[in-house]
Amino acid sequence: MPWTRDDRTPHRARGPHPGPGPHPRFGPAAPAEPLIARLDRWAAEAPHAPAYAFTDHTHGAEGATTALTWSETARRAAALAARVHAATVPGERVAILAPQGIDYVVAVLAVLRTHAAAVPLPAPGPTRPAPTAPGPPGRGDRLAGALRDCAPALVLTTSAAHDAVKRLLADAPGAAVRAVAAVDEPAPAGPPPALPDPPAATGTAYLQYTSGATRRPAGVVVTHANLTANVRQVWAAAVGGEDTTITTAGWLPLFHGMGLLLTVAVPLLTGSRAEFMDPAAFAADPIRWLRLMSRRRAVYSAAPDSAYAHCARRVRPADRAGLDLSGVRRLLNGGEPVRPATLRAFTGAFAGAGLDPAALTPAYGLAEATACVGMDAAPRPPRLRVVDRDALAAGVVVERPDGEEHSTVLVSCGRPVGQRTAVVDPHHRVEVPEGAVGEIWVSGPNVGGGYRGGRGAEAFGAVLRGGDPDVRWLRTGDLGALVDGELHVTGRAADRITADGRHHDPRDIEATVAAAHPRLRGRRVAAYGVPADLGGHLVVTAEAADPPPDTPPDTPDGDAALTRTVRAAVFREHALRLHDLVLVGPGAIPRTALGTTARSACRDAYLRDRRRAP
């Protein structure tokens, strides 16, 4: 069914919302209610209202849109759920390996309706969604590893991806899949199988595989209660108690936690609509996302920082003139470090299109907490703090006047949304004073139940020394500080570089390197430290544009001159010696599932090469 209407609801003035009170459409909080129970409600109350719409740009610039109403969504999901129930036993896993689209949404909803656990994964081969830039080698290996880890009894895909999925399974021994079914194929003839009783809130809704930014991806056990809690937390923080019909508009992969929450779960909670596209369509032409948001009022979306930079860089001024972003209420920026330069560039590029700077919402989250932990949802532009870089390296946030030498900028990720956040000395397991840097710990109903196979007790079952022994905390592995009650993320513990006897944030070093030479500007950079047996030094891998043909190495555009320039910039800005600079071609730095830099993979590749060398 084509999506042709342009139902723009009246735009409401921005202002403080009433807080996380009950919303008139979905009533008081009911933590025990599985979110999937709302599907039948919307099908009964608003059967002809739009639910999910996907725009496919594969065969044309304008794209072709496929949409489902709530009654159509419920009917398709119930029919598929009955088939899944007949083919599985409670507790088994059902992997979803399908291209981005309506069929993916139906597959997720169908498995949530059963007692099996969904495993959202990307489709293999050329049909799978791509992140915001070309992906690294070995991504197929990670997909095969996830299949071996979750051992699905059933795989749901589409007719177009069926052959690629079969090839992947043939190359992934140990996956032990009993059957592969295409979501878009007609149901077998005869009476439909019976639906099971609704799932329990304590049952596993899905396994969310981590991005692989710092280690091998692991499957987080997300229960129905976790999912319900986190979508309510996000709604309360981002929307509050306003009675409004919203549109979520996005391109994030549905196998990613925030993509699933934004596109599938929020509409399921509220009975609102979702409009979405393929990540590759966004990467090829980012104005498509902006045009999608321009069509509606009360629009909510989310993306990583690099996506906002991609828009500011790629969308031409002539194309911005046709945009109307005055209806955009929230743009969550999370999944990777939020850069002040990106916030400024995106706001400056699209202010003329009616974008409210207060719509930009820095956020923090991770798969182990379902998706979202906190966001800066105050009705103002994002809060930036200029701090002393050396003091931050020593573990203390000390604010400095703007523009002072050896300073850096921290972006507030706001307050926790319906959960508790603590900044902890990980060695002594005690909370640190406000303004001190420590490991971020999280406790709340959205925190998952561990990793598949019972792994993760150390990460998911931490206890504060001297605290309530019955309160379990998630150790995130991220570093941050609380200032005025707001969380400022300073990096990953696994990414922190210790060199020349000091700690360093790789993001600051990466920004310095990327700005040091024209061949590196706008390119991806990964900074990391090598272990003590190789000297405890700083190493940088950088994607570089090719020099002009026949360029001698010692001329300004040559590799030797580039390396000297980068070394000088790093020493000047950070008083730090660069041990090695590895130049690679565009797209060669490994990325996570969302397209963020996988520094640990760069480090591993560097160490393998150096230890193999004679």
- How many CB atoms lie under 10 A from the CB of residue 386? 16
Share of the chain above pLDDT 70, in %: 87
Tell me, what's the pLDDT at 432? Answer: 97
CATH code, residues 506-612: 3.30.300.30
Q: Which amino acid is at 64?
A: A
pLDDT in tens, 112-164: 999 999 999 999 865 433 344 333 334 566 788 899 899 999 999 999 999 99
Q: Which amino acid is at 449?
A: G
Strand (E) or helix (H) holding 311: helix 305-314
Q: Which residues, other chains included, contact 510 with Cβ-Cβ below 8 Å and sequence gap of 6+?
A: 525, 526, 527, 540
Tell me, what's the pLDDT at 32? Answer: 62
Confidence of residue 33 (pLDDT cuts 50, 70, 90): confident
Domains 39-303 and 506-612 equal at CATH topology level:
no
Tell me, what's the pLDDT at 595? Answer: 67
User: Rounded CA gap, 446 and 372, in Å?
Assistant: 9
Tell me, what's the pLDDT at 327? Answer: 95
Domain boundaries, the chain: 39-303, 383-492, 506-612
pLDDT in tens, 381-424: 999 999 998 899 889 999 987 767 778 899 999 999 999 999 99
Tell me, what's the pLDDT at 611? Answer: 67
Q: Which is higher by pLDDT, 173 or 287?
A: 287
Q: Which is higher by pLDDT, 73 or 593?
A: 73
User: Rounded CA gap, 104 and 121, in Å?
Assistant: 10
DSSP label at residue 367: G
Q: Which CATH architecture has domain 39-303?
A: 3-Layer(aba) Sandwich (3.40)
pLDDT in tens, 477-531: 999 999 999 999 998 877 778 766 667 778 889 989 999 999 998 889 999 888 7
Q: Which long-range contacts (CB under 8 A, 24 or more apart) does 175-179 make?
A: 175/144, 175/147, 175/148, 175/151, 176/151, 177/95, 177/147, 177/152, 177/153, 178/87, 178/153, 178/154, 179/87, 179/153, 179/154, 179/155
Tell me, what's the pLDDT at 22? Answer: 38
Tell me, what's the pLDDT at 214? Answer: 53
For residues 559-570, average pLDDT = 92
Pick the CATH number of 383-492 from 2.20.28.10, 3.40.190.10, 3.40.50.720, 2.30.38.10: 2.30.38.10
The two tokens of residue 63 are 């794209």
For residues 8-30, average pLDDT = 38
Confidence of residue 173 (pLDDT cuts 50, 70, 90): low
Average pLDDT, the chain: 86
Tell me, what's the pLDDT at 315? Answer: 95
Tell me, what's the pLDDT at 215? Answer: 58
Does position 9 have pLDDT exceeding 50, yes or no? no
Does position 282 have pLDDT exceeding 50, yes or no? yes
Does position 186 have pLDDT exceeding 90, yes or no? no
Tell me, what's the pLDDT at 43? Answer: 96
